[in-house]
Structure 1
C-alpha cells in the first residue's frame, strides 16, 4: 500500500431527515462511499465540523438543518496510471459495478502489463476508487478468460463482497469446452498450489490449498464436451488445473492444455476453429451475490463470446456428420 495521501473535502447542508440521528449515523447515510469505521475515525480525529464547530463525539444527536463539513486525509491505496479504456458494464450503482471482461484484457497490472488493464480503466472511470484496495477489484479472471466480474466502488462494499467470497455465499458459474468425452457431471476436490518446478504455474499439490470444482455436461460432441462449472473456491487457474488433472483440458489452453487434439476426419471448418482459438475456451457466464447495501440477492448472466459460439457450431456440425462415436 502507498503511504501517499489524498485530501478529502466534503460539505453538506442537512434537512429534517437527520433529526434525532447520531452524527456518525447521519454522515454514514450522507456519504455512503466511505466506510462507517473510516467516518467514525475522522470524527474522533477532529476532522468533522458541525455548524463550523469541531465535533469529536460520534453519538452527538442532530436536530436537522446543520452544516456538516469534513476535512480529512486518506491513504491512496492504488498508484497506477488512469487510462480511458472502454468497459462493458452490465450493472452499476453507487456501491458496485459488474463488467463483462473480454479476452486479452489483464485485470491487474503486473510484470509485462503495467498498463492497459481493468484496474487502469477503473481509475479513470470511478472517481476516488484509488482509495479502495486494488481499486475495488474483488476477484480476478485470467487474461484470456472472458465474462463477469464484480467491482466494489467503496471500502464498505469491498469488505462485504470479500466476506461473501470467503464464506462462499457468492456464486460464480462458468462455461467451458474441454477435450474428450465426459459422460456425466461430477466434481474435482483436489488441493492446488504452485507447480514444483515451474513457479509461474499452478498444479494439484498434496500440500496446496483446498479447491473444489463442480461440473455438469451441457452437450456432448464427437471428441469434446461443453461443460457448466461452479466454483466453491477461487484458487488461481483453478478450473484450468482441475480439468487438466482429470485429463479433459480446456480447449485452446496454451498453458495446461497441450497441443490441440484433432479428431479423425475433422472438417476444414472444425480444424480452422480449433487452431484459430488463441485462448482457453472458458467464460464466466453467471455471477450471483448479495448486494452489499440492500442485501438483495442479484444474478447476472453474460452470453458466450463469439469465438466460443463459433467453435460450438463447428463441433455440432462435425458430430452431426460423424456421430458421437467415430
Structure 2
C-alpha cells in the first residue's frame, strides 16, 4: 500500500458561537467530516488561513465573522503495483538498501505520477516490503535531485532509521552548484513553512518549522559556486529554499532559481549548457548511519551524475578563460 494526494479546499465564516473558541475547535465544528487530528496537523503545517493570513496556532482565539480557509493535500490509501524498474543499488543486506537515485525518478506515487516510481520498483525488488509502511522509504529526495537514499526492508529497521533521522545521528551531505560567487561557508538557520500564497511551495517563514543547513565552498567560479552542504533537519525543499533565501539559488532550479545568471562574454557552450540544465543542480553525495541491526557506523558515497559534472566542467572552463574580473 502507498498513498496518493487529493487537494482539499475548504472555506467558512465564523459565527457567534465560535467567538473565543480555539481555532482547532472551530475547524472541527465547521468541517466535521475531517478528524480533529487531521485538522490540527493542517494548522501546524501552515495549510490554514484566517482572514488571509496563515495561522499555525491551534489555540488561537477566534473572533466574529472571520474567514477561515483550508487548502491541503489529503493522503488517500491506494494500491501500488510492483514494477520491474532497475535500481542503482550500492549496498543491500536483509535489513537495508542503499540506492543512488537518478534524476526524473519520483520516490512516492502522487498526482501525475501514479507509477514508475521508486516505490513501485521496491515492491518488485523486495518480497514483502509492502508490509513495511511506505515500502520502507524513510526519507525522500525531490524528483530531480539525485543521490543516496536508505530504504528499510523490515519494520524494526525502519523504526531504527526513523529514530536516527529524528535524533539527527544520520548524516546526509549534498553537493550543489549555486548561483553567484560566495565569499565563504556558513550556515542558514531559518524556519521553513508553506509559502503564504503559493501553497505548493515552501519558504522561510517566522512560524515555520526549525531548519538548519550548513555549507562550505568547494570551488568558486565567475558567476557560480560549487558547494558542499550538510543538513541538521530535513524539511521539504530545505536546501533549495535556504540557498534562495541567502540570494544564492541553485543553478537550474525551475521553481526557486529564477532566470540563469550569465556573466559577460560567456561562450555559446556555456549559455546552452546552463539553459539546457533544467533541474536543480543538487546531488546527495554522502550518506552515513548506524546499521539498524549491527549498530555499525557505515558510510556510502555517490559520484556526481554525468549531467551535473558536465555543468561544473563548463562553468570551470569559463572561469579559466575569463578569470574573476568580468562579472
- 1:68-107 map, 5 Å: 79-107=79-107
- 1:51-70 map, 5 Å: none
Q: Which residue of 2 aligns with 1:277?
A: 277
Give the RMSD, CA atoms, in angstroms.
1.1
Which has the higher mean CA deviation after the structures are superposed, 257-266 or 84-93? Answer: 257-266
**For 2:215 and 2:314, how far apart are their aligned partners in 1?**
23
Q: Which residue of 2 aligns with 1:229?
A: 229
Q: Which residue of 2 aligns with 1:17?
A: none
Q: Which residue of 2 aligns with 1:318?
A: 318
**For 2:325 and 2:123, how far apart are their aligned partners in 1?**
52
Residues 21-71 of structure 1 show CA distances to partners (whole Å, capped at 9, x for unaligned) of xxxxxxxxxxxxxxxxxxxxxxxxxxxxxxxxxxxxxxxxxxxxxxxxxxx
C-alpha contact 1:79 1:130 (8 A) present in aligned 2:
no
Once the 2 structures are TM-superposed, how far is the Cα of residue 260 of structure 1 from its aligned partner?
1.3
**For 1:255 and 1:249, how far apart are their aligned partners in 2?**
10
Once the 2 structures are TM-superposed, how far is the Cα of residue 272 of structure 1 from its aligned partner?
1.6
C-alpha contact 1:78 1:134 (8 A) present in aligned 2:
no
Q: Which residue of 1 aligns with 2:206?
A: 206
Once the 2 structures are TM-superposed, how far is the Cα of residue 235 of structure 1 from its aligned partner?
0.1
Is residue 138 of structure 2 the alignment partner of residue 144 of structure 1?
no
Cα distance change, pair 90–78 in 1 and its aligned pair in 2 (3 A): farther
Q: Which residue of 1 aligns with 2:24?
A: none
**For 1:242 and 1:192, how far apart are their aligned partners in 2?**
8
Structure 1 segments (4+ residues) deviating >4 Å = none
Q: Which residue of 2 aligns with 1:175?
A: 175
Once the 2 structures are TM-superposed, how far is the Cα of residue 78 of structure 1 from its aligned partner?
7.5
**For 2:123 and 2:263, how far apart are their aligned partners in 1?**
46
**For 1:193 and 1:228, how far apart are their aligned partners in 2?**
24
**For 1:213 and 1:325, how far apart are their aligned partners in 2?**
30
**For 1:312 and 1:196, how far apart are their aligned partners in 2?**
34
**For 1:313 and 1:111, how far apart are their aligned partners in 2?**
36
Residues 87-117 of structure 1 show CA distances to partners (whole Å, capped at 9, x for unaligned) of 0001000000000000000000011111010
Question: Aligned residue pairs: how many?
Answer: 252
Residues 147-205 of structure 1 show CA distances to partners (whole Å, capped at 9, x for unaligned) of 00000000000000000000000000000000001011000000000001111000000
Q: Which residue of 1 aligns with 2:125?
A: 125
Q: Which residue of 2 aligns with 1:12?
A: none
C-alpha contact 1:214 1:230 (8 A) present in aligned 2:
yes
Once the 2 structures are TM-superposed, how far is the Cα of residue 79 of structure 1 from its aligned partner?
2.8
> Larger C-alpha radius of gyration, 1 or 2?
1
Q: Which residue of 2 aligns with 1:294?
A: 294
Which has the higher mean CA deviation after the structures are superposed, 85-94 or 257-266? Answer: 257-266
**For 1:135 and 1:146, how far apart are their aligned partners in 2?**
20
**What's the TM-score, normalizing by structure 1?**
0.76
Which has the higher mean CA deviation after the structures are superposed, 169-178 or 78-87? Answer: 78-87
Which has the higher mean CA deviation after the structures are superposed, 87-96 or 262-271? Answer: 262-271
**What's the TM-score, normalizing by structure 2?**
0.76
SS in 2 for 1:287: strand
Unpaired segments of 5 or more residues in structure 2?
3-76
**For 2:247 and 2:319, how far apart are their aligned partners in 1?**
21
**For 2:103 and 2:115, how far apart are their aligned partners in 1?**
16
SS in 2 for 1:157: helix
C-alpha contact 1:78 1:132 (8 A) present in aligned 2:
no
Which has the higher mean CA deviation after the structures are superposed, 315-324 or 155-164? Answer: 315-324
Residues 239-291 of structure 1 show CA distances to partners (whole Å, capped at 9, x for unaligned) of 00000000000000000001111111101111121011010000000000000
